[in-house]
Structure 1
Amino acid sequence: MSQAKPNLLRRVYDWTLTLAERKSAGGWLASISFAEASFFPIPPDVLLIPLCLGALRKALKFALICSVASVLGGAAGYAIGAFGWETVQDIFYNYVPGFTEEKFRDLTSWYKEWGWPLVFLAGFSPVPYKIFTIASGVLGMAFPQFLLASAVSRSGRFFIVAVLIAKFGEPMKIFIDKHFNKLALAFGVLLLSGFAVLKLL
């Protein structure tokens, strides 16, 4: 009796594991990390985790690539807010999930109260980071302050993931292989919760 064909998510995961050993892996990871911090809705963790699992010895390298690209993407988001917001705001309101004009106004009031700690916390949270990078530019947060908060939070998040995988990689890989569908569902719920938080606030 033939085995059932893996679902699409499983095939993508298996493909990503093989991608880890290719020279193009870093480029893929950098592109997604950069885009996520400025306009793309999918977090880089979906690529970082299987890449680290596919090549444990490269886990810290992948975390570094992810961190640098995410900080640069955050700087691009800051620039969008600082120099081009009036031109592109309708695109974000219409096409980025959770990015509504009302929520963006709420965010501006939070910035006045909290400032850079808000950026720092957002870097660790499942809430879409691009909203905070763009808002930082719109509201004129001091760029060095923004860059430091972004660098510490994003690198902290990605290196924690990489270190855990480097240390417990093989057992984690076995666990993921065994419970892939449940974990994929849980990750999807976590991703959606980031957008749901914006609607509830």
Structure 2
Amino acid sequence: MRLFAPLYERALRWARHRHAPRYLAALSFAESSFFPVPPDVMLAPMALANPQQAWRLAWLTTWTSVLGGLAGYLIGWLAMASIEPWLLASRYAAPYQQAMTWFQTWGVWAVFIAGFSPIPYKVFTIAAGALAMPLLPFTLASLVGRGARFFLVAALMRWGGARMEPLLRRHIDRIGWAVVAVVAVGATLTYALR
């Protein structure tokens, strides 16, 4: 089933738009606090389309993600009592409980790990605020964890450059379904281990 190829083509068109960095910054900020789409879906094609801009795009994505994480932290810190009933009734209930367990087990390291986990990062930012985690360690862990993730994506796209685009185009549906399978397995394991 060709689901990812049309999305990939659209992402490549958006990546070449003159306002694409603004859209990437907005997406990155929103994803860290309330929006469900990760910025990798824009960062990867943008870095692929403009390999010479890959590091700048990774920095932009990192900093706006950290700022969005601080907004998520504020949501958890100021509004947890109001949003907790909704959160516990939503599809984020199990990830939220898992994030709380990770914070109890690993403390601030959970924020770093969150950058690479199948649990949405916004769940960790809101949970950190709800737990009133010290702000400086939270911010530093966010900067390192998110930066590591986004610079890895940018590095892979920069390394692959123009020669990677036709290869990705040919195999994007297989890659997309493989990522879905990995996320599903990760989510299942996360749920089973709680």
User: Does the TM-score normalized on the shorter chain lie above 0.5?
Assistant: yes
Question: What SS does the corresponding residue of 1:124 show, helix, strand or coil?
Answer: coil
Shift of 1:106: 5.1
Shift of 1:173: 1.4
- 1:35 is the counterpart of 2:27: no
Tell me if the contact between 2:54 and 2:158 (Cα under 8 Å) persists in the aligned partners: yes
Shift of 1:8: 5.3
Q: Separation in 1 of the partners of 2:189 and 2:42?
A: 23
Unaligned runs of 5+ in 1: 1-5
Q: Separation in 1 of the partners of 2:146 and 2:42?
A: 15
Q: Separation in 1 of the partners of 2:3 and 2:59?
A: 29
Tell me if the contact between 2:62 and 2:150 (Cα under 8 Å) persists in the aligned partners: yes
Partner residue of 2:111 out of 106, 119, 122: 119
Tell me the TM-score normalised to structure 1 length. 0.85
Q: Separation in 1 of the partners of 2:172 and 2:105?
A: 42
Q: Separation in 2 of the partners of 1:40 and 1:196?
A: 22
- Per the alignment, residue 174 of structure 1 pairs with 166
- 1:162 is the counterpart of 2:154: yes
Q: Separation in 2 of the partners of 1:183 and 1:174?
A: 13
Q: Separation in 1 of the partners of 2:174 and 2:3?
A: 14
- Per the alignment, residue 57 of structure 1 pairs with 52
Question: What SS does the corresponding residue of 2:16 show, helix, strand or coil?
Answer: coil
Structure 1 pair 117–23 and aligned structure 2 pair: CA distance change class (3 A): same
Q: Separation in 2 of the partners of 1:147 and 1:117?
A: 11
Structure 1, 167-176 or 129-138: larger mean CA deviation: 167-176
Structure 1 pair 183–137 and aligned structure 2 pair: CA distance change class (3 A): same
Q: Deviations over 1:70-128 (max 9, x none)?
A: 11111111111111011112332334x3x21x654454343233211111111122321
Structure 1, 106-115 or 59-68: larger mean CA deviation: 106-115
- Per the alignment, residue 85 of structure 1 pairs with 80
Unaligned runs of 5+ in 2: none
- 1:147 is the counterpart of 2:139: yes
Question: What SS does the corresponding residue of 1:84 show, helix, strand or coil?
Answer: helix
Tell me if the contact between 1:18 and 1:54 (Cα under 8 Å) persists in the aligned partners: no
Q: Separation in 2 of the partners of 1:61 and 1:162?
A: 9
Shift of 1:155: 0.8
Shift of 1:7: 4.7
RMSD of equivalent CA atoms = 2.1
Shift of 1:159: 0.8
Q: Who wins on radius of gyration, i.e. which is larger?
A: 1
Tell me if the contact between 1:124 and 1:157 (Cα under 8 Å) persists in the aligned partners: yes
Tell me if the contact between 2:96 and 2:124 (Cα under 8 Å) persists in the aligned partners: no
Tell me the TM-score normalised to structure 2 length. 0.88
Tell me if the contact between 2:11 and 2:41 (Cα under 8 Å) persists in the aligned partners: no
Among all aligned residue pairs of Structure 1 and Structure 2, give the percentage whose two residues are the same amino acid: 37
- Number of matched pairs: 193
- Per the alignment, residue 185 of structure 1 pairs with 177
Shift of 1:158: 0.3
